[in-house]
Amino acid sequence: MRSSRPSIFSRWAAGLLLGALALPALAQETKVKFQLDWRFEGPSALFLVAKSKGYFAQEKLDVTIDAGNGSGNAVNRVASGSYDMGFADLAALMEFTANNPTAPTKPVGVMMVYNDTPAAVLALKKSGIRAPADLTGKKLGAPVFDAGRRAFPIFAKANQLDAAKANWISMDPPLRETMLVRGDVDAITGFTFTSLLNLNARGIKDEDVVVMPLPQYGVKLYGNAIIASDAFVKQKPEAIKGFLRAFAKAARDVMANPEEAIKSVKERDGLIDEKLELRRLKLAIASSIATANAKAEGFGQVSAPRMSLMASQVSDAYNTKTRVDPNAIWNASFLPSKAELNVFPK
Protein backbone atom coordinates (compact mmCIF):
# COMPACT_ATOMS: atom_id res chain seq x y z
CA MET A 1 0.00 0.00 0.00
CA ARG A 2 2.80 2.42 0.90
CA SER A 3 4.54 1.90 -2.42
CA SER A 4 1.39 2.93 -4.34
CA ARG A 5 1.09 6.38 -2.74
CA PRO A 6 4.09 8.04 -4.47
CA SER A 7 2.80 6.72 -7.77
CA ILE A 8 -0.66 8.21 -7.22
CA PHE A 9 0.85 11.50 -6.07
CA SER A 10 3.18 11.58 -9.05
CA ARG A 11 0.31 11.09 -11.46
CA TRP A 12 -1.68 13.81 -9.71
CA ALA A 13 1.27 16.23 -9.85
CA ALA A 14 1.88 15.40 -13.49
CA GLY A 15 -1.78 16.11 -14.24
CA LEU A 16 -1.52 19.51 -12.58
CA LEU A 17 1.62 20.28 -14.57
CA LEU A 18 -0.01 19.34 -17.87
CA GLY A 19 -3.05 21.45 -16.99
CA ALA A 20 -0.81 24.40 -16.20
CA LEU A 21 1.03 23.98 -19.47
CA ALA A 22 -2.27 23.93 -21.34
CA LEU A 23 -3.44 27.23 -19.87
CA PRO A 24 -1.22 29.45 -22.07
CA ALA A 25 -2.60 27.70 -25.17
CA LEU A 26 -6.15 28.39 -24.05
CA ALA A 27 -5.26 31.99 -23.22
CA GLN A 28 -4.05 32.53 -26.77
CA GLU A 29 -7.59 32.15 -28.12
CA THR A 30 -8.84 35.57 -29.25
CA LYS A 31 -12.40 36.54 -28.42
CA VAL A 32 -14.38 38.08 -31.30
CA LYS A 33 -17.81 39.67 -30.86
CA PHE A 34 -19.65 39.53 -34.20
CA GLN A 35 -22.87 41.37 -35.07
CA LEU A 36 -25.16 40.08 -37.82
CA ASP A 37 -27.31 42.46 -39.84
CA TRP A 38 -30.55 40.62 -39.10
CA ARG A 39 -32.11 37.61 -37.38
CA PHE A 40 -30.88 34.03 -37.55
CA GLU A 41 -32.19 33.14 -41.00
CA GLY A 42 -30.91 31.08 -43.93
CA PRO A 43 -28.02 33.37 -44.97
CA SER A 44 -26.61 33.42 -41.44
CA ALA A 45 -25.54 29.82 -42.10
CA LEU A 46 -22.43 31.32 -43.71
CA PHE A 47 -21.27 32.36 -40.24
CA LEU A 48 -22.89 29.68 -38.12
CA VAL A 49 -21.30 26.84 -40.13
CA ALA A 50 -17.87 28.35 -39.46
CA LYS A 51 -18.61 28.14 -35.76
CA SER A 52 -20.38 24.77 -35.66
CA LYS A 53 -17.69 23.04 -37.73
CA GLY A 54 -14.90 24.47 -35.58
CA TYR A 55 -13.34 26.57 -38.33
CA PHE A 56 -13.11 29.60 -36.04
CA ALA A 57 -11.67 27.45 -33.26
CA GLN A 58 -9.02 26.13 -35.66
CA GLU A 59 -7.92 29.75 -36.08
CA LYS A 60 -7.76 30.12 -32.28
CA LEU A 61 -10.80 32.36 -32.26
CA ASP A 62 -13.64 32.32 -29.74
CA VAL A 63 -16.41 33.92 -31.83
CA THR A 64 -19.74 35.08 -30.41
CA ILE A 65 -22.38 35.66 -33.10
CA ASP A 66 -25.38 37.84 -32.22
CA ALA A 67 -28.54 38.54 -34.22
CA GLY A 68 -29.04 42.10 -35.46
CA ASN A 69 -31.78 44.52 -36.43
CA GLY A 70 -30.50 46.29 -39.51
CA SER A 71 -27.26 47.21 -41.25
CA GLY A 72 -27.24 50.74 -39.85
CA ASN A 73 -27.26 49.42 -36.30
CA ALA A 74 -24.58 46.86 -37.14
CA VAL A 75 -22.32 49.65 -38.42
CA ASN A 76 -22.99 51.79 -35.34
CA ARG A 77 -22.25 48.95 -32.94
CA VAL A 78 -18.97 48.09 -34.63
CA ALA A 79 -18.05 51.78 -34.81
CA SER A 80 -18.71 52.20 -31.08
CA GLY A 81 -16.52 49.22 -30.19
CA SER A 82 -19.43 47.21 -28.79
CA TYR A 83 -18.61 44.63 -31.45
CA ASP A 84 -15.29 43.79 -33.06
CA MET A 85 -16.71 42.76 -36.43
CA GLY A 86 -20.06 42.68 -38.18
CA PHE A 87 -22.09 42.09 -41.31
CA ALA A 88 -23.63 45.16 -42.93
CA ASP A 89 -24.71 46.76 -46.18
CA LEU A 90 -21.74 48.56 -47.71
CA ALA A 91 -23.92 51.59 -48.49
CA ALA A 92 -24.73 51.91 -44.77
CA LEU A 93 -21.00 51.84 -44.00
CA MET A 94 -20.36 54.50 -46.65
CA GLU A 95 -23.12 56.68 -45.23
CA PHE A 96 -21.75 56.42 -41.69
CA THR A 97 -18.22 57.30 -42.77
CA ALA A 98 -19.27 60.26 -44.92
CA ASN A 99 -21.66 61.63 -42.28
CA ASN A 100 -19.13 61.33 -39.45
CA PRO A 101 -15.92 62.75 -40.93
CA THR A 102 -14.50 63.71 -37.53
CA ALA A 103 -15.34 60.46 -35.77
CA PRO A 104 -12.15 59.12 -34.17
CA THR A 105 -12.93 55.53 -35.13
CA LYS A 106 -14.60 54.24 -38.29
CA PRO A 107 -15.21 50.61 -39.32
CA VAL A 108 -13.91 49.34 -42.66
CA GLY A 109 -15.08 46.63 -45.01
CA VAL A 110 -12.72 43.66 -45.13
CA MET A 111 -14.56 41.04 -47.25
CA MET A 112 -17.43 41.31 -49.74
CA VAL A 113 -20.18 38.70 -49.35
CA TYR A 114 -23.23 40.01 -51.25
CA ASN A 115 -21.44 41.10 -54.41
CA ASP A 116 -24.78 42.30 -55.81
CA THR A 117 -27.26 44.11 -53.60
CA PRO A 118 -30.27 41.89 -52.76
CA ALA A 119 -32.54 44.96 -52.92
CA ALA A 120 -35.47 44.86 -55.32
CA VAL A 121 -38.76 46.53 -56.17
CA LEU A 122 -41.67 44.12 -55.79
CA ALA A 123 -45.31 44.45 -56.88
CA LEU A 124 -48.29 42.20 -57.40
CA LYS A 125 -49.08 41.43 -61.03
CA LYS A 126 -52.71 42.41 -60.52
CA SER A 127 -51.51 46.00 -60.01
CA GLY A 128 -50.50 46.21 -63.65
CA ILE A 129 -46.91 47.05 -62.73
CA ARG A 130 -44.48 45.21 -64.97
CA ALA A 131 -41.53 47.57 -65.47
CA PRO A 132 -39.93 50.61 -63.79
CA ALA A 133 -41.94 53.02 -65.97
CA ASP A 134 -45.14 51.62 -64.47
CA LEU A 135 -44.14 52.94 -61.04
CA THR A 136 -44.86 56.53 -62.03
CA GLY A 137 -47.63 57.93 -59.85
CA LYS A 138 -47.80 54.79 -57.72
CA LYS A 139 -47.58 54.49 -53.95
CA LEU A 140 -44.30 52.90 -52.85
CA GLY A 141 -43.82 51.41 -49.41
CA ALA A 142 -40.80 50.58 -47.26
CA PRO A 143 -39.23 51.38 -43.89
CA VAL A 144 -37.30 54.66 -44.03
CA PHE A 145 -33.97 52.85 -43.56
CA ASP A 146 -34.58 50.14 -46.19
CA ALA A 147 -31.61 49.68 -48.53
CA GLY A 148 -33.79 49.53 -51.64
CA ARG A 149 -35.63 52.70 -50.69
CA ARG A 150 -32.38 54.54 -50.00
CA ALA A 151 -31.05 53.41 -53.37
CA PHE A 152 -34.24 54.27 -55.25
CA PRO A 153 -32.83 57.55 -56.67
CA ILE A 154 -30.08 55.49 -58.33
CA PHE A 155 -32.68 53.05 -59.68
CA ALA A 156 -34.83 55.96 -60.88
CA LYS A 157 -31.96 57.66 -62.70
CA ALA A 158 -30.95 54.42 -64.41
CA ASN A 159 -34.52 53.93 -65.64
CA GLN A 160 -35.42 57.53 -66.56
CA LEU A 161 -37.80 58.06 -63.64
CA ASP A 162 -38.24 61.19 -61.54
CA ALA A 163 -37.29 60.05 -58.04
CA ALA A 164 -38.54 63.31 -56.57
CA LYS A 165 -42.09 62.40 -57.56
CA ALA A 166 -42.03 59.03 -55.81
CA ASN A 167 -44.91 58.76 -53.34
CA TRP A 168 -43.40 56.94 -50.35
CA ILE A 169 -45.35 55.48 -47.46
CA SER A 170 -43.31 54.43 -44.43
CA MET A 171 -43.98 51.49 -42.14
CA ASP A 172 -42.24 49.11 -39.75
CA PRO A 173 -40.62 46.09 -41.46
CA PRO A 174 -43.24 43.51 -40.34
CA LEU A 175 -46.00 45.53 -42.05
CA ARG A 176 -44.35 46.01 -45.44
CA GLU A 177 -45.61 42.92 -47.27
CA THR A 178 -48.95 42.99 -45.46
CA MET A 179 -49.63 46.50 -46.75
CA LEU A 180 -48.76 45.40 -50.29
CA VAL A 181 -51.16 42.46 -50.10
CA ARG A 182 -53.92 44.69 -48.69
CA GLY A 183 -53.42 47.24 -51.45
CA ASP A 184 -52.31 50.04 -49.13
CA VAL A 185 -49.26 50.45 -51.38
CA ASP A 186 -48.71 49.53 -55.04
CA ALA A 187 -45.10 48.38 -54.73
CA ILE A 188 -42.45 47.88 -52.07
CA THR A 189 -38.68 47.75 -51.84
CA GLY A 190 -36.90 45.02 -49.89
CA PHE A 191 -34.39 42.22 -50.13
CA THR A 192 -35.62 39.66 -52.66
CA PHE A 193 -35.05 36.71 -50.35
CA THR A 194 -36.92 38.47 -47.55
CA SER A 195 -39.90 40.14 -49.19
CA LEU A 196 -40.70 37.35 -51.66
CA LEU A 197 -40.82 34.74 -48.90
CA ASN A 198 -42.84 37.07 -46.69
CA LEU A 199 -45.37 37.42 -49.51
CA ASN A 200 -45.48 33.63 -49.84
CA ALA A 201 -46.26 33.42 -46.13
CA ARG A 202 -49.23 35.71 -46.77
CA GLY A 203 -50.65 33.44 -49.44
CA ILE A 204 -49.12 35.07 -52.53
CA LYS A 205 -47.55 32.71 -55.07
CA ASP A 206 -44.27 33.46 -56.85
CA GLU A 207 -46.02 33.67 -60.22
CA ASP A 208 -48.26 36.47 -58.91
CA VAL A 209 -45.32 38.68 -57.96
CA VAL A 210 -43.30 41.03 -60.17
CA VAL A 211 -39.72 41.24 -58.90
CA MET A 212 -37.35 43.91 -60.22
CA PRO A 213 -33.91 43.20 -58.71
CA LEU A 214 -32.01 46.47 -58.64
CA PRO A 215 -28.82 44.94 -60.14
CA GLN A 216 -30.83 43.89 -63.21
CA TYR A 217 -32.14 47.43 -63.66
CA GLY A 218 -28.92 49.43 -63.80
CA VAL A 219 -27.99 49.57 -60.11
CA LYS A 220 -24.47 48.20 -59.63
CA LEU A 221 -24.27 48.60 -55.87
CA TYR A 222 -22.48 46.10 -53.69
CA GLY A 223 -24.52 44.54 -50.89
CA ASN A 224 -23.44 43.25 -47.50
CA ALA A 225 -19.82 42.91 -46.47
CA ILE A 226 -17.93 41.81 -43.38
CA ILE A 227 -16.72 44.88 -41.51
CA ALA A 228 -14.19 45.35 -38.71
CA SER A 229 -13.74 48.05 -36.08
CA ASP A 230 -10.83 50.46 -36.24
CA ALA A 231 -9.44 49.14 -32.95
CA PHE A 232 -9.61 45.51 -34.11
CA VAL A 233 -7.86 46.39 -37.37
CA LYS A 234 -5.00 48.02 -35.47
CA GLN A 235 -4.76 45.62 -32.53
CA LYS A 236 -5.84 42.21 -33.87
CA PRO A 237 -5.00 41.99 -37.59
CA GLU A 238 -4.17 38.28 -37.37
CA ALA A 239 -7.55 37.58 -35.78
CA ILE A 240 -9.28 39.27 -38.74
CA LYS A 241 -7.25 37.18 -41.17
CA GLY A 242 -8.14 34.02 -39.28
CA PHE A 243 -11.83 34.97 -39.19
CA LEU A 244 -11.91 35.48 -42.95
CA ARG A 245 -10.08 32.21 -43.63
CA ALA A 246 -12.62 30.35 -41.50
CA PHE A 247 -15.50 32.17 -43.16
CA ALA A 248 -14.22 31.28 -46.65
CA LYS A 249 -14.11 27.59 -45.67
CA ALA A 250 -17.66 27.81 -44.40
CA ALA A 251 -18.86 29.65 -47.52
CA ARG A 252 -17.48 26.85 -49.67
CA ASP A 253 -19.33 24.27 -47.57
CA VAL A 254 -22.58 26.24 -47.58
CA MET A 255 -22.67 26.66 -51.34
CA ALA A 256 -21.72 23.04 -51.93
CA ASN A 257 -24.41 21.70 -49.59
CA PRO A 258 -26.97 24.28 -48.42
CA GLU A 259 -29.26 21.53 -47.13
CA GLU A 260 -26.64 20.45 -44.63
CA ALA A 261 -25.67 24.04 -43.82
CA ILE A 262 -29.18 25.06 -42.79
CA LYS A 263 -28.90 22.67 -39.83
CA SER A 264 -26.48 25.10 -38.20
CA VAL A 265 -29.22 27.76 -38.22
CA LYS A 266 -31.70 25.29 -36.75
CA GLU A 267 -29.20 24.52 -33.98
CA ARG A 268 -29.02 28.23 -33.13
CA ASP A 269 -32.75 28.91 -33.41
CA GLY A 270 -34.91 25.82 -33.01
CA LEU A 271 -38.06 27.71 -34.03
CA ILE A 272 -37.07 28.35 -37.65
CA ASP A 273 -38.84 26.65 -40.55
CA GLU A 274 -35.97 24.70 -42.12
CA LYS A 275 -37.66 24.38 -45.52
CA LEU A 276 -38.37 28.11 -45.67
CA GLU A 277 -34.89 29.12 -44.53
CA LEU A 278 -33.28 26.71 -46.99
CA ARG A 279 -35.13 28.43 -49.80
CA ARG A 280 -34.07 31.83 -48.42
CA LEU A 281 -30.45 30.69 -48.34
CA LYS A 282 -30.59 29.39 -51.91
CA LEU A 283 -32.17 32.64 -53.10
CA ALA A 284 -29.42 34.63 -51.38
CA ILE A 285 -26.72 32.53 -53.01
CA ALA A 286 -28.25 32.84 -56.47
CA SER A 287 -29.16 36.53 -56.33
CA SER A 288 -26.30 38.03 -54.35
CA ILE A 289 -23.39 35.68 -53.59
CA ALA A 290 -22.58 33.37 -56.51
CA THR A 291 -23.40 35.96 -59.17
CA ALA A 292 -21.68 36.67 -62.48
CA ASN A 293 -20.10 39.80 -60.97
CA ALA A 294 -18.82 37.86 -57.95
CA LYS A 295 -17.26 35.21 -60.17
CA ALA A 296 -15.65 37.86 -62.36
CA GLU A 297 -14.25 39.88 -59.46
CA GLY A 298 -13.49 36.96 -57.16
CA PHE A 299 -15.30 35.97 -53.98
CA GLY A 300 -14.71 38.45 -51.17
CA GLN A 301 -13.16 41.04 -53.44
CA VAL A 302 -14.26 44.29 -55.04
CA SER A 303 -13.54 46.17 -58.25
CA ALA A 304 -11.95 49.60 -57.72
CA PRO A 305 -13.89 51.33 -60.54
CA ARG A 306 -17.18 49.86 -59.36
CA MET A 307 -16.41 50.83 -55.76
CA SER A 308 -15.68 54.41 -56.86
CA LEU A 309 -18.94 54.55 -58.81
CA MET A 310 -20.87 53.29 -55.80
CA ALA A 311 -19.20 55.86 -53.55
CA SER A 312 -20.28 58.64 -55.88
CA GLN A 313 -23.83 57.30 -56.22
CA VAL A 314 -24.27 56.85 -52.47
CA SER A 315 -22.97 60.36 -51.85
CA ASP A 316 -25.67 61.74 -54.14
CA ALA A 317 -28.55 59.41 -53.25
CA TYR A 318 -27.99 59.57 -49.50
CA ASN A 319 -27.08 63.28 -49.54
CA THR A 320 -24.12 62.68 -47.24
CA LYS A 321 -22.36 65.52 -45.38
CA THR A 322 -19.11 64.80 -47.19
CA ARG A 323 -18.38 62.82 -50.33
CA VAL A 324 -17.71 59.13 -49.75
CA ASP A 325 -14.03 58.26 -50.10
CA PRO A 326 -13.90 54.65 -51.35
CA ASN A 327 -10.36 54.27 -50.03
CA ALA A 328 -11.54 55.07 -46.52
CA ILE A 329 -14.12 52.32 -46.30
CA TRP A 330 -12.28 49.29 -47.69
CA ASN A 331 -9.22 47.33 -46.56
CA ALA A 332 -8.39 44.25 -48.64
CA SER A 333 -5.17 43.41 -46.79
CA PHE A 334 -6.83 40.76 -44.60
CA LEU A 335 -8.27 38.63 -47.40
CA PRO A 336 -7.23 34.97 -47.68
CA SER A 337 -5.26 33.71 -50.66
CA LYS A 338 -6.91 33.27 -54.06
CA ALA A 339 -6.89 29.51 -53.54
CA GLU A 340 -8.73 29.90 -50.22
CA LEU A 341 -11.22 32.26 -51.87
CA ASN A 342 -12.03 29.72 -54.57
CA VAL A 343 -15.36 28.86 -52.96
CA PHE A 344 -17.84 28.66 -55.83
CA PRO A 345 -19.00 25.16 -56.85
CA LYS A 346 -17.86 24.09 -60.30
pLDDT digits (tens, 9 = 90+) for 228-278: 999 999 999 999 999 999 999 999 999 999 999 999 999 999 999 999 999
Q: Is 343 inside a domain boundary?
A: no
Domain identity same for 159 and 281 = no
The overall average pLDDT reported for the chain is 93
What was the pLDDT predicted at 28? Answer: 84
For residue range 185-199, what is the model confidence (pLDDT) as tens digits? 999 999 999 999 999
Q: Report the pLDDT value the prediction gives residue 4, as an integer from 0 to 100.
A: 46
- One domain, residues 167 and 261: no
What would the mean pLDDT of 191-208 be, rounded to a whole number? 96
Considering 159, 186, 217, which residue would you say is the last residue of a domain?
217
Please give the pLDDT value at position 1. 41
Asked if 209 and 255 sit in the same domain, the reply is no
pLDDT band of 17, cuts 50, 70, 90: low
Domain extent for 192? 119-217
- Residue 176 pLDDT exceeds 90: yes
Closest CA to 314 of 153, 172, 136: 153
Q: pLDDT above 70 covers what percent of the chain?
A: 92
Amino acid 25 reads A
Residue 84 forms part of a structural domain: yes
DSSP 221: -
Q: Are residues 236 and 100 in the same domain?
A: yes
Instruction: Give first-to-last CA distance, the chain, whole Å.
Output: 67
Q: Per-residue confidence at 18, pLDDT binned at 50, 70, 90?
A: low
Number of domains observed in the structure of the chain: 2
Residue 345 located in a structural domain: no
Name the pLDDT band for 25 (thresholds 50, 70, 90). Answer: very low
The verdict on 240 and 186 lying in the same domain is no
Q: What is the CATH number of the domain that holds 133?
A: 3.40.190.10
**Is 108 part of a structural domain of the chain?**
yes
Cα(215)–Cα(213) distance, integer angstroms: 6
| 165 lies in the same domain as 197 | yes
* Residue 37 within a domain: yes
- Cβ atoms of 118 and 165 within 8 Å: the answer is no
Task: Label residue 346 by pLDDT band (50, 70, 90).
Answer: confident
Q: In terms of domains, do 251 and 112 share one? A: yes
Same domain as 317, residue 177: no
Domain assignment present for residue 24? The answer is: no
Is 263 within a domain? yes
Confidence of residue 14 (pLDDT cuts 50, 70, 90): low
Backbone angles phi, psi at 107, to 5 degrees: -70, 165
Is residue 227 domain-shared with residue 178, that is, in the same domain?
no
Residue 7's pLDDT band, with cuts at 50, 70 and 90, is low
Any domain includes 15: no
Please indicate, yes or no, whether residues 189 and 283 belong to a single structural domain of this protein.
no
CB 195 within 8 A of CB 177: yes
The SS3 call for residue 122 is: strand
